[in-house]
Amino acid sequence: MFKKWMGAALAVAGLALAATATAQAADPVRIGFSIAQTGLFAAAAPSQLNAYELWKEQVNATGGLDVGGTKRPIEFVMYDDQSNPEQTVKIYEKLITEDKVDLLLAPWGTPMHFAIAGVLEKHQFPMVGNSAASVQLRDLKPGNIWFPTSAIPDRMADELAKMLTANGAKTAAVLTNQLPFSLEIKQFLIPALDKAGIKVAVNDEYPPDVKDMTALLGKVKAANVDAVLALSYPNDSILYMNQAKEAGIKAPFQFVLVGPTIDFFGKMFGKDLDGIVTIGHWTPAKADWPKAKPFFDAYVAKFNANPDYLDSALAYMSCEILQQAVAKAGLDKAKIREAISTMTFDTINGPVKFEGVQNVTTPTSFLQFQDGKAQLVWPPEAATAPYKPRT
Amino acid sequence: MDLLLSPQLLAAALIAGVLYALVALGLNLIYGTMRLLNVAHGELVMLGGYVAYWSFALLGAGPWPALILSPLATGLLGDALYRGLFRQLLANSALAQRIEANSLLLFFGVSIILQNLVSLAFTATPRGYQPFAAMVDLGAANLTGGRLLALFVAGIVTIAAVLLLRFNTVGLAIKALIQNREAASLAGIDIEKLERWSFVAGFAIAGLAGALVSMVEQLSPFMGFPYMIAAFVIIILGGLGNLTGSLIGGLVLGLLETYGVALTSPNYRSILVYGVFIAVLLVRPQGLLGRARIVR
């Protein structure tokens, strides 16, 4: 009888001790998001997720996220959205209303960002976006979503036309993958090229599941253009790289839209990647951005692979912006909104300031691979290395 | 016109055709012979691709080990699956009545498990490699080393497989198996051994195809689906169970895709392929080389 009482008393004492112990350790900050772990975008999402994980690890190593003065460890609440925008909407609703997370990070991809903009508006929950680029972003109501990217299709088209003119290109071939982002760029690119007086000798589209580009590239080779602009995605970018070489395309300016910034692409093509121009506004080579190289090195050390120069950089930037906003404003949504809308942030991509939903400090830029490294070659005033025609 | 007659385009068409033929050959050995609806066939190609990628990355001996390791890996998997799951399914006459439906469910599960296991193990990050950095100038056409290798190996293996099975008693036994399983067994053919052999061979060939595909395309855990669809189209087009038919069907598909697209535009690829597929089936439901059969 006595033993039973003793046992019970000890149990209660133990529980009480445990309760006080956990109450004394800082409450974690719960950050929720969904990511495409399966489905169509699953191949692209790891570059973003890795950046998130790296950020969490680095912040927790310093004691946690600075929430208005107090440091609290970060805890992720993550779900697989299966590359499905409807699923993403449901997940973010759940994160806000049921899981009651403190902060949100963005999913991967333009369609997902658009899908959840409404959810964020409804619950007045601010979130910094990253992997989204479209002119329609400007139509979104500011206040709960922001986009740090500068790779917006219409500006890209203008800058690309300027870059071609600056390098004396008179003729161009445009090959477009029939996906929303590439089609949007083409929509602005053709008029921009016409305006710049550049003759578009070949202008063809192809479906995303294309298996062979020999016929298309034969046409491009026959047209003997100064610039080949392949608005392609990783799978067809690979086809382009291989089959353009086979077809003997020797245009001095070759642009490949999505693919070159991904780690495996560089490893796959080695020296052949040199001279290829692609989209991107971040490079570890920029000395003006002291945080750029350390991020690159830390990513390589943790994942044994290069970060994606576009997606990983943007994802990490969105984390930095959130971090700096929360340090100033704590977890109050209205204060965070105020902070993100007004502060100038110090990121791995230099300073970032938003006007409305857009980042107005980072110029629309292009990268070129030289000796296996990504260099910023446009605009000339921000370049880390001069553009070199592809030999 | 110049472009259409170019050897470069012909090479591209042949490569596509012979890779398709190889994948279809594997499926024919499984669906054509035993009516097992292998919807995981694309995943086997994917697995073969990953084994090839890792053998290239880790062994440093070029793409050659992959040509043995990939079919070995998928073949062993096939053996395990046959002994674990499918032998009972085939032997039980009650279950065998609805063999297509039952095997569809089983293989569907296998496909999902394989996709997600690979995704967990290697993450969904796409991977690719170049087996040879050099280009090969064949005079009239230029090919990257990887594509040339794919052309050769796929070509040799498909032709060898077709010839082997045509002029060999095993081929005859398979034809008997296709015609009537019970009767073939009564005629003294070791059905179980034959089925197991066919199953494993089908898996192994898919793995080899995967190794070759990995040399020309990017790899990801979810890349298998289009190959599975193409394989089914080809074996139905060529005639179920008829291996020569799947060789011809694969070549037809490859040529149709490449030349059709060159004549029209890449957007017409699906219309052309499925259009021809439907047209052939309307005129000859048993496929180009299939034998008209009375359903049991």
- What's the CA gap between A310 and A2, in Å, rounded? 68
pLDDT band for position A159 (cuts 50, 70, 90):
very high
- Inter-residue contact A239 to A249 (CB < 8 Å): no
| pLDDT (0 to 100) of residue A4 | 67
A residues 170-209 closer than 8 Å to B (CB): 178, 204-207, 209
- Inter-residue contact B202 to B34 (CB < 8 Å): no
Cβ within 8 Å, pair B9-A265: no
Question: Residue A388 phi/psi, 5° resolution?
Answer: -120, 125
* A47 contacts in chain B (CB < 8 Å): 125
- Segment B257-277 shows an average pLDDT of 86
Roughly how many angstroms between the first and final C-alpha of chain B, as a whole number? 50
Q: Is the pLDDT of residue A264 over 90?
A: no
Q: What is the pLDDT of residues A280-318, one digit of tens each?
A: 999 998 988 999 999 999 999 999 889 999 999 999 999
Which residue would you say has higher pLDDT here, A155 or B293?
A155
Cβ within 8 Å, pair A267-B258: no
Name the least confident of A92-96, A204-208, B86-90, B201-205.
B86-90
- Segment A310-327 shows an average pLDDT of 94
- Inter-residue contact A220 to A247 (CB < 8 Å): yes
B264 part of contact set with chain A, CB < 8 Å: no
Peptide bond into A307 cis (omega under 30): no
Q: What percent of chain B has pLDDT over 70?
A: 98
Cβ within 8 Å, pair A270-B133: yes
Residues 6+ apart with CB under 8 A from A307: A47, A50, A51, A263, A295, A296, A299, A300, A313, A316
Q: What is the pLDDT of residues A111-146, one digit of tens each?
A: 899 999 999 999 999 999 999 888 888 888 888 999
B266: nearest CB among A210, A270, A271: A210
Q: Is the pLDDT of residue A14 over 60?
A: no
B266: nearest CB among A46, A207, A242: A207
State how far residue B44 is from chain A, nearest Cα, in angstroms. 18
Cβ within 8 Å, pair A207-B261: no
* A214 contacts in chain B (CB < 8 Å): 8-9, 11-12, 258, 262
User: In angstroms, what CA-CA distances link B253 with B18, B21, B226, B237?
Assistant: 9, 9, 13, 9
Which residue would you say has higher pLDDT here, B62 or A389?
A389
Sign of the four-CA dihedral A83, A88, A91, A92: positive
A342 part of contact set with chain B, CB < 8 Å: no
| pLDDT (0 to 100) of residue A21 | 45
The helix/strand count (H/E) of chain B reads as 14, 2
State how far residue A313 is from chain B, nearest Cα, in angstroms. 16
Q: What percent of chain B has pLDDT over 90?
A: 35
Please report the domains of chain A, with CATH numbers, ordered by start residue. 29-151+289-359 (3.40.50.2300), 153-279+365-382 (3.40.50.2300)
In one-letter notation, the amino acid at residue A90 is K
| pLDDT (0 to 100) of residue A128 | 94
- Segment A230-250 shows an average pLDDT of 90
Q: Is the pLDDT of residue A49 over 90?
A: yes
Cβ within 8 Å, pair B142-A209: no
* A211 contacts in chain B (CB < 8 Å): 16, 257, 269
| pLDDT (0 to 100) of residue A22 | 45
Question: Residue B87 phi/psi, 5° resolution?
Answer: -60, -45
Largest Cα separation within chain B, whole Å, is: 60
User: In angstroms, what CA-CA distances link A310 with A149, A163, A290?
Assistant: 9, 20, 18
pLDDT band for position B294 (cuts 50, 70, 90):
low
Q: Is the pLDDT of residue B296 over 70?
A: no
State how far residue B194 is from chain A, nearest Cα, in angstroms. 35
- What's the CA gap between A148 and A363, in Å, rounded? 11
- Segment B23-51 shows an average pLDDT of 91
Cβ within 8 Å, pair B124-A212: no
pLDDT band for position A190 (cuts 50, 70, 90):
very high
A226 part of contact set with chain B, CB < 8 Å: no
A43 part of contact set with chain B, CB < 8 Å: yes
Q: In residues, how long is chain A?
A: 391
- Segment A356-372 shows an average pLDDT of 91
| pLDDT (0 to 100) of residue A9 | 61
- Inter-residue contact A35 to A108 (CB < 8 Å): yes
H/E segment holding residue A19: helix A2-24
- What's the CA gap between A263 and A307, in Å, rounded? 6
Mean pLDDT of chain A: 90
The beta strand positions in chain A, using DSSP E, are 29-35, 65-67, 70-72, 74-80, 103-104, 127-128, 145-146, 171-177, 199-206, 227-231, 253-256, 276-279, 344-347, 350-355, 358-359, 366-370, 373-378
Which residue would you say has higher pLDDT here, A186 or A13?
A186
pLDDT band for position A24 (cuts 50, 70, 90):
very low
* A306 contacts in chain B (CB < 8 Å): none
Cβ within 8 Å, pair A265-B128: yes
State how far residue A121 is from chain B, nearest Cα, in angstroms. 32
Mean pLDDT of chain B: 87
B residues 197-226 closer than 8 Å to A (CB): 216-218, 220-222, 226
State how far residue B129 is from chain A, nearest Cα, in angstroms. 4
State how far residue A338 is from chain B, nearest Cα, in angstroms. 37
* B119 contacts in chain A (CB < 8 Å): 37-38, 42
B88 part of contact set with chain A, CB < 8 Å: no
Q: Is the pLDDT of residue A235 over 70?
A: yes
B residues 104-123 closer than 8 Å to A (CB): 115-116, 119, 123
Q: What is the pTM of this model?
A: 0.81
B265: nearest CB among A204, A246, A267: A204
| pLDDT (0 to 100) of residue A290 | 92
Q: Is the pLDDT of residue B122 over 90?
A: no
Please report the domains of chain B, with CATH numbers, ordered by start residue. 7-283 (1.10.3470)
- What's the CA gap between B44 and B42, in Å, rounded? 5
B12: nearest CB among A45, A212, A264: A212
Q: What is the DSSP string of A284-333?
A: TT-TT-TTHHHHHHHHHHHHSSPPPTTHHHHHHHHHHHHHHHHHHHTT-H
H/E segment holding residue B50: helix B41-59
- Inter-residue contact A316 to A348 (CB < 8 Å): yes
A71 part of contact set with chain B, CB < 8 Å: no
Q: Is the pLDDT of residue B281 over 90?
A: no
A250 part of contact set with chain B, CB < 8 Å: no
Mutation target vs B (from A232, A246, A274, A311; most B CBs, 10 A cutoff): A246
B12: nearest CB among A40, A206, A214: A214
- Segment B144-156 shows an average pLDDT of 90
Q: What is the pLDDT of residues A241-263, one digit of tens each?
A: 999 988 889 999 999 999 899 88
Q: Is the pLDDT of residue A6 over 80?
A: no
- Inter-residue contact A119 to A36 (CB < 8 Å): no
A264 part of contact set with chain B, CB < 8 Å: yes
| pLDDT (0 to 100) of residue A13 | 56
The three-state secondary structure class of A193 is helix
| pLDDT (0 to 100) of residue A17 | 53
Which residue would you say has higher pLDDT here, A277 or B134?
A277
- What's the CA gap between B23 and B16, in Å, rounded? 11
- Segment B147-161 shows an average pLDDT of 92
